[in-house]
Amino acid sequence: MSRPPEPAAPKSFRDPAVLAARLTLRDAPHVAPLGAFARRIAAERRAPVPDPDPLDGGTGARLLLLLETPGPAIFGTGLVSRDNATGTAANLFRFLAEAGIARADTLIWNAVPWVIHAQGARNRAPTRAEALAGAAYLAPLLDLLPRLAVVVTAGRFAARAAAPLGALRPTLPVIAVPHPSPTYVCTSPSVAERIRAGLREAAARLTHDPV
C-alpha cells in the first residue's frame, strides 16, 4: 500500500474528505494490531477508545508520544491524531514538525486510552483508579512496539507513566514535556521551549539509534 501524502498544515480533519480517506486506512497492517488492542480496551472498560492515526508509524513506531486521555474530538474522528481540529493537536503537529521527527516514526497514544468523560462534556483529569487501570495496559502496548526507542510523556499525568514504563523496560528512555494544550502553552514562553527541547532530545535519540 502506498503511503498517502502528509497534510501540509494542522487541523486537516476539518475537511470531511480528508478524514474519510484516512478512515479507510484503519485496517492497514501497521495499525491493525493497535486497532484490535483499542477495541479490546473499549470492551473491557465499556468506553470508546480511539484508533491510532494510520498515517503515523503504528507498530513500526520508534517514538511513543503519550498524552493523558482522549479529548472530545475523538467522538467526531475516532482517531488519536495530530490532524484533529483542536488546539492541542495543532500544537503537536507544529512541535513534531519543528523537531524534524518523521511521522512514520511516531505513535500517539494516551496514558488512559479510553474516554473518561461523557459525550458533550469537557474533559477532566483522570482519577487515581483510572490511572492505575491505564497503567495496566502499558505492557501489552509495548509488546506491540518492537522498534520502540524512546517515549515522550506530555503533561503531568502522563509523566506518571515513567515509573511503570521503567519497570517494564528499564533501558527505555522516557522524556517528560509539558502538555501541548493551548491552555498550558499560552501560560509562558518557557512551556513551548520545554516541549521543543524534549522533542529535540527525542529526535536526537532516534538519530543515534538507527534502524
pLDDT tens for 11-28 read 999 999 999 999 999 999
- Rounded to whole angstroms, the maximal C-alpha distance in the chain is 44
pLDDT one-digit tens code per residue, 95-144:
999 999 999 999 999 999 999 887 777 777 888 899 899 999 999 999 99
**Strand ranges inside the chain, DSSP E:** 51-52, 63-67, 79-80, 106-110, 150-154, 174-177
Please tell me the predicted confidence (pLDDT) of residue 28: 97
* Of 41, 2, 9, nearest in space to 144 by CA: 41
Mean of per-residue pLDDT scores for the chain: 94
Which amino acid is it at 178? Answer: P
Please tell me the predicted confidence (pLDDT) of residue 211: 57
In 10 A of CB 195, how many CB atoms? 25
d(CA 5, CA 8): 9
Q: Are 70 and 122 in contact (CB under 8 A)?
A: no
Please tell me the predicted confidence (pLDDT) of residue 210: 60
* Of 147, 176, 173, nearest in space to 62 by CA: 147
Residue tagged 495530530 (cell numbers): 82
DSSP 178: -
With a pLDDT cut of 90, the percent of the chain lying above it is 82
pTM: 0.94
Residue tagged 487541523 (cell numbers): 11
pLDDT one-digit tens code per residue, 33-45:
999 999 999 999 9
Average pLDDT over residues 56-63: 98
